Amino acid sequence: MYRIVRKKELNPTVTQMEIEAPLVARKARPGQFIILRVTDEGERIPLTVAGTDPKEGTVKIIFQIVGATTFLLNTKKEGEYIQDFVGPLGQATELEGLKKVCIVGGGVGCAIALPIAQALHDMGAEVTSIIGFRTKDLLILEDDFRSCSDRLIVMTDDGSYARQGNVTVPLKEMLENGETFDTVITIGPLIMMKFVVLTCKPFEVPVIASMNPIMIDGTGMCGGCRLTLSRNGEKITKFACVDGPDFNGYEIDFDEAMSRGRMYMDYERHAYEKTCNLFAQERR
């Protein structure tokens, strides 16, 4: 059992928790993830490590309430426990040798991007961060990004805060003005990452995309997180849980990944509604 040390609402649909897991806190690196179960009969869900405190023995996770399990997780209070918390899993983001990097995060993907930006900042790299949200109400982690970025650009789709537009707008402007980066690291919705890659392609800027497909066991055995990559004219299959979650953005078949990601949306919504109703009945 793993104790919830702290809990904080970042916006109406996104929650931050710090979980007491000393062994995971000691080993986890930016880009890696954990798999948890809320109860002993619950499903396994992957969540990226959003930060660690090895001295305190805690791991920070940030999640959006979109399905049954994240709904149940959000009902937990500080001092309560969750059943399982396994990790770190996946490959850490390769940061060695990077001197000038652009981090492009969208929505709750910014929770994954933040520890990467912080690690690069601590290494002495020049960090430009572009973070985007649909509206001001969904904005998260602005101050955290500001503290580890040499330049921070905040975008909102509706213009309710900062600059209006999507994250590719300032990225394209910088590249067209001759700005160069060792690499662009993008984390967020698949459609956003696809267009970040397309924006960078004419300028031949390396792009790393962090993938978060459907995942079950986290060891590469179930095949649920498989991705199709195009490499040297050939189609190859990789597994996000063991080969990733980071991949060369130019190799990823984003359209296939988006199609697979939509397969269980109706089931997820049904499970969420059922769980909400059961929880409400239990509270009466």
Structural domain boundaries in the chain: 2-89, 93-209, 211-264
pLDDT tens across the length of the chain (284 residues): 999 999 999 999 999 999 999 999 999 999 999 999 999 988 899 999 999 999 999 999 999 998 889 999 999 999 999 999 999 999 999 999 999 999 999 999 999 999 999 999 999 999 999 999 999 999 999 999 999 999 999 999 999 999 999 999 999 999 999 999 999 999 999 999 999 999 999 999 999 999 987 777 777 788 778 899 998 889 999 998 899 899 999 999 999 988 877 766 665 565 545 555 555 555 55
Could you tell me if 103 and 167 are in contact, meaning their C-beta atoms sit under 8 angstroms apart? Answer: no
**What's the pLDDT score for residue 158?**
94
How far is it, in rounded angstroms, from Cα 284 to Cα 278?
Answer: 10
CA distance 175 to 203: 7
87 CB-contact burial (10 Å; exposed 0-12 / middle 13-18 / buried 19+): buried
- DSSP tag of 3: E
> Euclidean distance between the first and final Cα of the chain, in Å?
27
Superfamily of domain 2-89: Translation factors (2.40.30.10)
CA distance linking residue 239 with residue 261, whole number of Å: 14
Give me the CATH topology for the region 93-209: Rossmann fold (3.40.50)
pLDDT score recorded for residue 221: 80
